[in-house]
């Protein structure tokens, strides 16, 4: 990881990195497909009641595993 990169990403940041929409991101998070940390209840409806944090390293490993599985 280079200096300045965040260790933990928000659901929006992870979705942006994956180039997917938030509906798909929340579906993957709620299904446990992407490793993430649940941090209590959010106060906005846009976040669907939960603050999600995704480890950048875990997301990169997940991407690699999906790429390997598709090969």
Length of the chain: 71
Global pTM value: 0.76
Do residues 52 and 9 touch, judged by C-beta distance below 8 A?
A: no
Has residue 64 got a pLDDT over 60?
yes
Note the Cα 38 to chain centre separation in Å.
11
Note the Cα 11 to chain centre separation in Å.
5
- Say what the pLDDT of residue 29 is: 92
Q: What is the pLDDT of residues 11-61, one digit of tens each?
A: 999 999 999 999 999 999 989 999 999 887 656 555 556 789 999 999 999
- Say what the pLDDT of residue 14 is: 96
Residue showing tokens 């409806």 = 45
- Say what the pLDDT of residue 49 is: 64
């Amino acid at each position: 990881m280079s200096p300045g990169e965040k260790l933990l990403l928000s659901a929006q940041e992870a979705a942006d990195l994956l180039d997917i929409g938030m509906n798909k991101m929340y579906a993957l998070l709620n299904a446990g497909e992407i490793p993430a940390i649940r941090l209590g209840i959010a106060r906005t409806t846009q976040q669907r009641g939960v603050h999600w944090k995704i480890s950048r390293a875990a997301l990169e490993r997940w991407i690699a595993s999906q790429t390997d599985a598709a090969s």
